[in-house]
Amino acid sequence: MDYAIQQTLNALSFGAEYALIALGLAIVFSIMGLVNFAHGEVVAFGGYSMVITATLLTSNPWIIMVGVMFACVLTAVVLERVAFRTVRGADLTTGLLTAFGVSIVLQNLFLLLGSPRAMAATQFIFLDKTLTIGTIRVSSLQIYETLATFVAIVVLMLFLRKTPLGIAMRAAALDFEMVRLCGFRANRVIAGAFAISGLLAGLACIFIMARRGSVQPHMGFDPVLVAFVACVIGGFGSLPGAVLGGFLLGIAEVTILIILPQSAGGLSSAAVFFLVALVLIWRPDGILSPAREKGDKI
């Protein structure tokens, strides 16, 4: 029983982390059709901003947390302005490759200006304690992570349903031209989407850093790869799909780790990606995406 609860929490917290990053990808994709592979570098920059804030200003973790969120939002918005505005409305491959290019540029900037080796950033480690509830021992970080993700999803949902900008964003996912005709500025809607994706990246960054305690130039790549997969499983551009995909991946990963013998531990990501390939063969456009006629989207 203890074991089951621990593993469930494992699955939930993995899933929460994937879902946070996947949501950041999905909200940008739903509005401007861009697969933002540089999202992982936004997360990594959050990690570097920790190092910068801690050496320049203060080592108070709560202030650093605010700083991380701010840094991630700022990076996401700046990237939109500098790199992604020029490929707005271009086809999917163009956007994807631009995002890859931006991601390579940022990684190498971290390498040039930071350090090729891991830099210590341990301010958030205190979030990770072992709690004992009755006979069950769980990690406090996993609980925070799961709760924070649920709160973030609820807040995001309220924002998208209740505020004018949120409603404009949902409408933009369906018909961007119509939203512009209704008097919303295209730039503001898209910048808003990037800001939200940055905020989600900041949240994810805090939990990733609490777990790792160090920051590396390439650390954003693996999470965003998994988040990308989560989006694709759920149906690209669908926000509920991104959340569903994230949690499904978390569950799949933990299940595979349990089922596979210890000696085959290195094959867990191969097994996850194999399952993903199977899902895509079953539903090429993802689980929660409606069937769409080809040739309509011109």
Partner 1 sequence: MMSYFNSDQRKGLIGSALLSLMILAIVGAYYIWGETYHARILYATFVNLLVVVGLQVFTGNANITGFSHAAFMGVAAYIAAICVTPAAMKMISLPDAPWGLNTFELSALASATIALVITGLMGLATGLIFVRLSGVGVTITSIALLVIVHSIFLHRTDIFKGNQALFGIPKIFDLSHITGLVILAIFVARLFRESSVGLQLRASSDDEAGARSIGVDVRRVRLIAWVMSTCFFATAGVAYSFFLGTISARPFYFNFVFLTVAMLILGGLRSVTGAVFGTLLITIGLELVRWLETGPVLIGVKLPQMLGLSGLLLGVVIVAVMAFLPNGIMGHREIEDLLHRKRKKGRKNDVSSYDSQA
Footprint of partner 1 on this chain (CB under 8 A)? 35, 83, 86-87, 90, 92-94, 96-98, 100-112, 116, 217, 221, 225, 228-229, 232, 236, 264, 266-267, 269-270, 273-274, 276-277, 280-281, 284-285, 294-295
Q: Which residue number, 15 or 114, has a Cβ lying nearer to partner 1?
A: 114
Six token digits for residue 138: 């769980």
8 to each of 138, 237, 240, 282, how far by Cα in Å? 11, 27, 21, 27
Minimum distance from residue 10 beta carbon to partner 1 (Å): 21
Q: Which residue number, 93 or 130, has a Cβ lying nearer to partner 1?
A: 93
Minimum distance from residue 245 beta carbon to partner 1 (Å): 11
Minimum distance from residue 81 beta carbon to partner 1 (Å): 13
Q: Which residue number, 34 or 138, has a Cβ lying nearer to partner 1?
A: 34
Residue 133 backbone dihedrals phi, psi, to 5 degrees: -110, 110
Minimum distance from residue 260 beta carbon to partner 1 (Å): 11
* Interatomic CA distance for residues 258 and 276, integer angstroms: 18
Minimum distance from residue 179 beta carbon to partner 1 (Å): 23
Minimum distance from residue 113 beta carbon to partner 1 (Å): 9
Q: Which residue number, 96 or 191, has a Cβ lying nearer to partner 1?
A: 96
Minimum distance from residue 246 beta carbon to partner 1 (Å): 15
Q: How many CB atoms lie within 10 A of CB 42?
A: 32
H/E stretch holding 215 reads: strand 214-215
For every residue of 80-148, DSSP letters joined together read IIIIISTTTT--HHHHHHHHHHHHHHHHHHHHHHS-SS-EE--TTGGG--EEEETTEEEEHHHHHHHHH
8 A C-beta contact, residue 195 and residue 76: yes
Q: Which residue number, 177 or 296, has a Cβ lying nearer to partner 1?
A: 296
Q: Which residue number, 30 or 142, has a Cβ lying nearer to partner 1?
A: 30
Place of tokens 């931006």: 102
Minimum distance from residue 162 beta carbon to partner 1 (Å): 31
Q: Which residue number, 111 or 148, has a Cβ lying nearer to partner 1?
A: 111
Handedness of CA 237, 240, 242, 248 (dihedral sign): negative
8 A C-beta contact, residue 64 and residue 58: yes
**CA 243 from centre of chain:** 10
Q: Which residue number, 126 or 273, has a Cβ lying nearer to partner 1?
A: 273
Six token digits for residue 25: 């990808």
